[in-house]
Amino acid sequence: MLYIDSNVFLYPIIYEVGAVEEAKRSRDLLLRIALGDVEACTSIITWDEVVWVVRRVFGLEPSIEQGKRFLTFPNLKFLAVKKSIILRAQEILEKYGVKPRDAVHAATAIENKITNIASYDKDFDVIKGIKRIEP
């Protein structure tokens, strides 16, 4: 199982796939997930990140559309955020000094026994128990 960070969803939305390598690699990974070739999951809070960034960059209507698309993404498992995850996120935040959202993503992965996170965010590199993989 591969945990997918929000930036993997955002790169192909924000950047032109032909011009930005990360956008192309993200699109290719997302296609493999949609086809069922890669078993993947993400936290339900990823919806908030995707919708918020799209809203800031493109406005309300595109953010609504992308939110709908995200929630119906084929073959993607959504993981709940519960108090035990937030408690672990607090520990990660204190120990490694990462951003709160990154701490929640890492804690969600760890609580669900997932060690690999697809992300371009190097902040995950300092967290023990997590291996960041660039798509």
String of DSSP letters for 30-69: HHHHHTTSS-EEEETHHHHHHHHHHHHHH-HHHHHHHHHH
Question: Could you give the dihedral angle defined by the CA atoms of residues 34, 38, 44 and 50, in that order, rounded to the nearest 10 degrees?
Answer: -60
Q: Residue 63: what pLDDT? A: 98
Q: What is the pLDDT of residues 43-87, one digit of tens each?
A: 999 999 999 999 999 999 999 999 999 999 999 999 999 999 999
Q: How far apart are CA 93 and CA 82, in angstroms?
A: 16
- CATH classification of 2-133, choosing from 3.40.50.1010, 3.40.50.720, 2.60.40.1080, 3.20.20.450? 3.40.50.1010
Indicate the helix (H) or strand (E) that contains 89: helix 83-96
Cβ-based neighbour number of residue 74 at 10 Å: 10
